[in-house]
Amino acid sequence: MLSLMTFIPLVGMLVILCLPKDKPQWVRYTAVVATLIPLLLGVKLFLDYDRSNPGIQFVERMSWIPMFNIEYYMGVDGLSIPMVLLTVLLSFLCIFASWTIDNGVKGYFAMFLFLETGMMGVFCALDFFLFFLFWEVMLLPMYFLIGIWGGKNKVYAAIKFFLYTLFGSVLMLLVMLAMYYYGEPHTFDLIKLAELHPFSGKTVSLFGTQFAMDKIFWIGLFIGFAIKVPVWPFHTWLPWAHVEAPTAVSVILAGVLLKMGTYGILRMNFPILPEATLWAANAMALLGVINILYGAFCAMAQTDLKKLVAYSSVSHMGYVMLGMASFTTAGVNGAVLQMFNHGTSTAMMFLLVGVIYDRAHHRWIVKPDGTRGFGGIASQVPVFTGIFAIALFASLGLPGLSGFISEAMVFMGALSVPRLQTMTVIASLGIVLGAAYLLWMFMRVFLGPLNEEYKDLTDMNWREKLTLAPLCVLVIVLGVYPQPVLDLMSSTVAKLLTIFA
Amino acid sequence: MAQSCLWIALLPFLAFLVQVSIGKKLPRHGDFVSVLAIGTSFALATPIFINLLSTGNLYETLQFVWINLPGVPSAALRGAQDFKVTIGVLLNPLTAIMLFMVTLCSTLIHLFSTGYMHGEERYHLFFAYISLFSAAMLGLIISDNLLTFFICWELMGLCSYLLIGFYYKKPSAINASIKAFMTTRVGDTCFFMGICALYYVFGTTNFMDMYGAVKAGVAADVTILGLPAYTFIGLCIMLGTIGKSAQFPLHIWLPDAMEGPTPVSALIHAATMVAAGVFLLIRTYPLLYASHGVLTVIAYVGAITAFLAALIGIVQNDIKKVLAYSTISQLGYMVMGVGVGAFGAAFLHLLTHACFKACLFLCSGSVIHSVHTQDMREMGGLRTKMPWTFLCTLISTLAISGLPFFSGFVSKDRVLAGALAFGMEHPAHMIIPILGFAAAGVTAFYMFRLLYMTFFGAARDEHKHHHAHEQPLIMVLPLVVLATLSLSLWYAGPTGLDFVDNKILPVTWFDHSVEAAQTSMSIVAHHGSEEIHHKAHGLALIFSLILAAGGILLSTAIYLKKMINPDKLKRMFGPMHHILWHKYFFDELYVGFLIQKVLLSWNRMLAAFDNRVVDGIFVDGWAKVTMVVKSVVGKFDEVVVDRMAVDGAGDLVAVSGWAVRRFQTGRVQQYLIFSLIALGMVYWVLR
Amino acid sequence: MTNGMKLVLFGAEVLTVLCALIATFHPNVLYGAIALLITFLGVAVMYVFAGADFLAGAQVIVYVGGVTILILFAIMLTQWLYQMKLRDVGTKLLAPILIGAGLFYVLAKALLDINPKFLSDNAEPAQKFLMTPKTALLGEALLGSYLLPFEAITILLLGALVGAVWIARPR
Amino acid sequence: MNAFMTFVDKATGVQGFLIVGAILFSLGIIGILSRKNAIGILLGVELILNAAGLNFVTFSRYRTAAIDGQVANLFVILIAAAEAAVALAIILRFYRLKQTIDADEANLLRN
Amino acid sequence: MAQNVLDSLKWFAPETSLVAVLVLIFLADAALPKARSTVLSFMLGCLGLVAAIAATVKLAPLDPTLYFSGVVAHDGLSSFFRILVFASGILGLYAAYGSKEIEEKYRNEYAILILCVVFGMSLMAISTNLIMLYIGIETVSIVSFALAGLNRESLRSNEAALKYMIYGALSSGLMIYGFSLLYGVTGSLQYSQIHTALVAMNMAEPPLILQMAMLLIFGGLAFKISAFPMHFWTPDVYEGAPTPVVTFFSVGPKAAGMAALIRIFYTVFASKTGETFTVMPGTALVHGLAIVSALTMLVGNFSAIAQVSVKRMLAYSSIAHVGYLLMGMVATNEKGLVAILFYLVVYYAMNVGAFIVTGLVMESRGSDDIESFRGVGWTNPYLGVVMAVFLFSLTGIPVFGGFVGKFLLFGSLIDVPGFLWLALWGVLNSVVSLYYYARIVKAMWLDKPVSASSQPLPAIAMTTYHWVGLALLAIPTVLLGLFFSPVVRLAKASVAALLS
Residue B377 pLDDT: 76
Partner chains of C (3+ C-beta pairs under 8 Å): B, D, E
Phi, psi dihedrals of residue D13, rounded to the nearest 5°:
-85, -165
D29/E187 touch (CB, cutoff 8 Å), yes or no: no
In this predicted structure, the answer to whether residue B56 has a pLDDT above a threshold of 60 is: yes
Amino acid identity of residue B200, one-letter, is Y
Residue B493 pLDDT: 64
Residues in chain D within 8 Å Cβ distance of B669: 32-35, 41, 103-104
In this predicted structure, the answer to whether residue B597 has a pLDDT above a threshold of 80 is: no
Residues in chain C within 8 Å Cβ distance of D82: 156-157, 160-161
Instruction: Find the CB nearest D109 among B660, B666, B669.
Output: B666
Highest mean pLDDT pick, B317-321, B632-636, B661-665, E164-168: E164-168
A177/E397 touch (CB, cutoff 8 Å), yes or no: no
Residue B602 pLDDT: 66
In this predicted structure, the answer to whether residue B17 has a pLDDT above a threshold of 90 is: no
Low-confidence ranges of chain A (pLDDT < 50): none
Nearest-Cα residue of chain B relative to residue E240: B666
- The distance of Cα E456 from the centroid of its chain, to the nearest Å, equals 37
Residues in chain C within 8 Å Cβ distance of B673: 95-96, 99
Q: How confident is the model at residue B528 (pLDDT cuts 50, 70, 90)?
A: low
Residue B560 pLDDT: 73
Q: How confident is the model at residue E222 (pLDDT cuts 50, 70, 90)?
A: very high
Mean pLDDT across chain B: 78
- In the three-class reduction of DSSP (H, G, I as helix; E, B as strand; rest coil), residue C92 is classed as coil
In this predicted structure, the answer to whether residue E154 has a pLDDT above a threshold of 90 is: no
**Chains A vs D: touching, with 3+ CB pairs under 8 Å?**
no
- A-E CB pairs within 8 A amount to 88
Nearest-Cα residue of chain B relative to residue E212: B683
Lowest model confidence (mean pLDDT) among A215-229, B119-133, E306-320: B119-133
Of all residues in chain E, the percent with pLDDT exceeding 90 is: 42
Instruction: Find the CB nearest B666 among D29, D35, D107.
Output: D107
Partner chains of D (3+ C-beta pairs under 8 Å): B, C, E
Within 10 Å of residue E307's Cβ, how many Cβ atoms? 26
D33/B676 touch (CB, cutoff 8 Å), yes or no: yes
In this predicted structure, the answer to whether residue C18 has a pLDDT above a threshold of 90 is: yes
In this predicted structure, the answer to whether residue E118 has a pLDDT above a threshold of 90 is: yes
> Which of D48, D57, D86, D101 would you mutate first to test chain E, the one with the most E CBs within 10 A?
D86
More confident: B553 or E312 = E312
Amino acid identity of residue A276, one-letter, is A
Nearest-Cα residue of chain C relative to residue E181: C111
- Pick from B144, B286, B146, B285: which is nearest to B215 by CA? B286
In this predicted structure, the answer to whether residue B276 has a pLDDT above a threshold of 80 is: yes
- Pick from E186, E82, E153, E86: which is nearest to E124 by CA? E82
C-alpha–C-alpha distance, residues A40 and A45, integer Å:
9
C113/E112 touch (CB, cutoff 8 Å), yes or no: no
B673/C102 touch (CB, cutoff 8 Å), yes or no: no
In this predicted structure, the answer to whether residue B637 has a pLDDT above a threshold of 50 is: no
A223 interfacial to chain E (CB closer than 8 Å): no
Residue E306 pLDDT: 80
Highest mean pLDDT pick, B498-502, B620-624, E138-142: E138-142
Residues in chain E within 8 Å Cβ distance of C117: 187
Residue E319 pLDDT: 93
C-alpha–C-alpha distance, residues A76 and D18, integer Å:
73
Residue E178 pLDDT: 93
Amino acid identity of residue E85, one-letter, is V
Residues E68-117: tens digit of each pLDDT = 888 888 888 999 999 999 999 999 999 888 888 887 777 888 899 999 99
Residue B525 pLDDT: 54
Positions of E strands within A195-250: 203-206, 209-212
Q: What mean pLDDT comes out for the span B127-151?
A: 88
C-alpha–C-alpha distance, residues A498 and B81, integer Å:
10
CA distance to partner chain C, nearest, from residue D19 (Å): 6
Count, residues in chain A: 501
Lowest model confidence (mean pLDDT) among A101-110, B644-653, E484-493: B644-653
Residue B291 pLDDT: 81
B607 interfacial to chain A (CB closer than 8 Å): yes
D12/C1 touch (CB, cutoff 8 Å), yes or no: yes
CA distance to partner chain E, nearest, from residue D1 (Å): 32
E292/B622 touch (CB, cutoff 8 Å), yes or no: no
D10 interfacial to chain E (CB closer than 8 Å): no
C-alpha–C-alpha distance, residues A369 and A145, integer Å:
30
Count, residues in chain B: 687
Instruction: Find the CB nearest D56 among E161, E162, E183.
Output: E183
Residues E349-375: tens digit of each pLDDT = 999 999 999 999 988 888 888 888 988
Residue A363 pLDDT: 84
Instruction: Find the CB nearest E167 among B666, B671, B678.
Output: B671
pTM: 0.86
Residue B640 pLDDT: 31
Residues in chain E within 8 Å Cβ distance of A155: 442, 446
D52 interfacial to chain E (CB closer than 8 Å): yes
CA distance to partner chain C, nearest, from residue B605 (Å): 54
In this predicted structure, the answer to whether residue B190 has a pLDDT above a threshold of 50 is: yes
Residues in chain B within 8 Å Cβ distance of D29: 676
Q: How confident is the model at residue B568 (pLDDT cuts 50, 70, 90)?
A: confident
> Which of C99, C153, C155, C169 would you mutate first to test chain E, the one with the most E CBs within 10 A?
C155
Phi, psi dihedrals of residue E309, rounded to the nearest 5°:
-80, 130
D39 interfacial to chain E (CB closer than 8 Å): no
Please say whether the beta carbons of C35 and C22 come within 8 A: yes
Q: How confident is the model at residue B618 (pLDDT cuts 50, 70, 90)?
A: very low
Q: How confident is the model at residue E343 (pLDDT cuts 50, 70, 90)?
A: very high
Residue B612 pLDDT: 53
**DSSP tag of B597:** I
CA distance to partner chain D, nearest, from residue E128 (Å): 14
More confident: B656 or E102 = E102
Nearest-Cα residue of chain C relative to residue B678: C99
Amino acid identity of residue A369, one-letter, is D
Residue C103 pLDDT: 92
C149/E132 touch (CB, cutoff 8 Å), yes or no: yes
More confident: B453 or A116 = A116
In this predicted structure, the answer to whether residue B488 has a pLDDT above a threshold of 80 is: no
C-alpha–C-alpha distance, residues E371 and E68, integer Å:
53
C-alpha–C-alpha distance, residues A440 and A448, integer Å:
12
More confident: E343 or B685 = E343
C6 interfacial to chain E (CB closer than 8 Å): no
Of all residues in chain E, the percent with pLDDT exceeding 70 is: 98
In this predicted structure, the answer to whether residue B623 has a pLDDT above a threshold of 70 is: no
Residues in chain C within 8 Å Cβ distance of D11: 10, 13
Residue B633 pLDDT: 32
In this predicted structure, the answer to whether residue B78 has a pLDDT above a threshold of 80 is: no
In this predicted structure, the answer to whether residue E18 has a pLDDT above a threshold of 70 is: yes
**DSSP tag of B342:** -
Residues in chain E within 8 Å Cβ distance of B683: 211, 215, 288
Positions of E strands within E330-456: none
Residues in chain B within 8 Å Cβ distance of C103: 676
Instruction: Find the CB nearest B668 among E167, E229, E303.
Output: E167
In this predicted structure, the answer to whether residue B646 has a pLDDT above a threshold of 60 is: no
C-alpha–C-alpha distance, residues C146 and E129, integer Å:
10
C-alpha–C-alpha distance, residues E134 and A86, integer Å:
64
Residue B504 pLDDT: 55
> Which of D57, D59, D93, D104 would you mutate first to test chain C, the one with the most C CBs within 10 A?
D57
**Chains C vs A: touching, with 3+ CB pairs under 8 Å?**
no
Residue A365 pLDDT: 80
Lowest model confidence (mean pLDDT) among A147-151, B578-582, E20-24, E441-445: B578-582
Count, residues in chain E: 500
Amino acid identity of residue B251, one-letter, is H
A148 interfacial to chain E (CB closer than 8 Å): yes
C-alpha–C-alpha distance, residues D61 and D65, integer Å:
5
B611 interfacial to chain D (CB closer than 8 Å): no
- D-E CB pairs within 8 A amount to 131
D98 interfacial to chain E (CB closer than 8 Å): yes
Of all residues in chain B, the percent with pLDDT exceeding 70 is: 83
Residues in chain A within 8 Å Cβ distance of E395: 166
